[in-house]
């Protein structure tokens, strides 16, 4: 009996070691995918439930949970719902939080080919119709998600309480010269530090290399292959009538603070709040500052 028990203990230990080795190898080879899986797990532990419906390009996936006013979090390009993992536990308190994989990102289809802005807006239509068939929603968008939020608010002002733009780019004028298609490790490091600023953490080489691989097939390039001119809001910011709050990381070289100030002057009803020493994606880089600022922005 003791011999049998010992064998089972050894077998269990060997299994754990083997699984750990496999997991470590997978992380080393696919760190970006691993981070996304961890992010999705965090969404579920925050009380959000994965949901699915038919979208403009096939499967449309989003996460939602909580009760209260509906707040929709829209990620940027080359990102997904999992990117909000560091802030969802705080933000779901006292509200209905809706976090989609915008079409062409994360688990949402299509997985390849050009990615028109119109299809992504149609995906937001479907998610809002499912989660908030009546009443108003607040839209919070980072980067491209901020652009999408303003476009959706322009089309559906009667459905929008307010828009919060986190380093979003609805106009072409004033965008900084940052290499968004880095081809190697050195170029990718330069791009990351341009986006994140001087407080960016060091990145291991294998993580940088995976970022480079992701850039080659990521959504940013797929969006760039489409005609963006009908959706650019240069000279048309006055069409956005809903209240807008600009939450801006001042270390972002792609969309510097001067860009945010120009947006504020062009929007009829906007205010600007600066997040010091934060970059392009402050909800990841400095989540505590972001949550505090967003709570203020969403306050009645």
pLDDT in the model for residue 71: 98
10-residue mean pLDDT profile of the chain (300 residues): values are: 48 36 49 89 97 94 97 96 97 97 96 95 97 96 98 97 97 94 94 88 90 87 93 96 97 97 97 97 96 96
Main-chain dihedrals φ then ψ at residue 92, nearest 5 degrees: -75, -15
Indicate whether this model's pTM tops 0.85: yes
CATH number reported for the structural domain that contains residue 234 in this entry:
3.40.50.1820
Q: Regarding beta strands 160-166 and 244-249, do their DSSP bridges make them parallel or antiparallel, or are they unpaired?
A: parallel
185 token code pair: 């490790």
182 token code pair: 């880095």
> Could you list the residue range(s) of the whole structural domain that residue 272 is in?
2-298
| DSSP codes of every residue in 252-290 | -SSS-HHHHHHHHHHSTTEEEEEETT--TTHHHHSHHHH
Which residues lie closer than 8 Å to 62 by C-beta, 6 or more apart?
50, 51, 52, 81, 98, 99, 100, 101, 127, 131
CA separation for the pair 122, 56 (Å, rounded): 6
CA separation for the pair 123, 59 (Å, rounded): 10
Number of domains in the chain: 1
């Amino acid at each position: 009996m003791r011999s049998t028990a010992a064998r089972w203990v050894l077998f269990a230990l060997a299994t754990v070691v083997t699984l750990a080795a496999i997991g470590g190898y997978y992380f080393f080879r696919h760190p970006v995918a691993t981070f996304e899986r961890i992010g999705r797990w965090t969404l579920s532990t925050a009380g959000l439930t994965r949901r699915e419906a038919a979208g403009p390009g096939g499967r449309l996936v989003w996460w939602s949970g909580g009760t209260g006013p509906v707040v929709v979090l829209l990620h940027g390009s080359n990102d997904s719902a999992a990117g909000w993992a560091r802030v969802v536990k705080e933000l779901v308190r006292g509200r209905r939080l809706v976090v989609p994989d915008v079409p062409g990102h994360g688990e949402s289809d299509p997985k390849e080919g050009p990615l028109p802005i119109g299809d992504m807006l149609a995906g937001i239509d479907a998610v809002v119709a499912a989660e908030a068939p009546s009443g108003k929603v607040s839209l919070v968008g980072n980067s491209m998600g901020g652009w999408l939020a303003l476009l959706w608010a322009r089309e559906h002002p009667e459905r929008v309480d307010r828009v919060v733009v986190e380093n979003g780019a609805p106009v072409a004028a004033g965008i900084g010269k940052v290499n968004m298609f880095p081809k190697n490790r050195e170029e990718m490091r330069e791009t990351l530090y341009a986006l994140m600023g001087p407080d960016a953490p060091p990145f291991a080489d294998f993580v940088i290399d995976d970022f480079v691989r992701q850039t080659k097939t990521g959504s940013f390039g797929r969006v760039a292959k489409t005609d963006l001119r009908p959706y650019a809001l240069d000279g048309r910011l006055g069409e956005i009538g809903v209240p807008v709050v600009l939450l801006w990381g001042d270390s972002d070289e792609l969309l510097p603070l001067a860009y945010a100030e120009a947006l504020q002057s062009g929007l009829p009803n906007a205010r600007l709040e600066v997040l010091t020493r934060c970059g392009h994606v402050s909800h990841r880089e400095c989540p505590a500052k972001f949550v505090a600022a967003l709570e203020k922005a969403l306050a009645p």
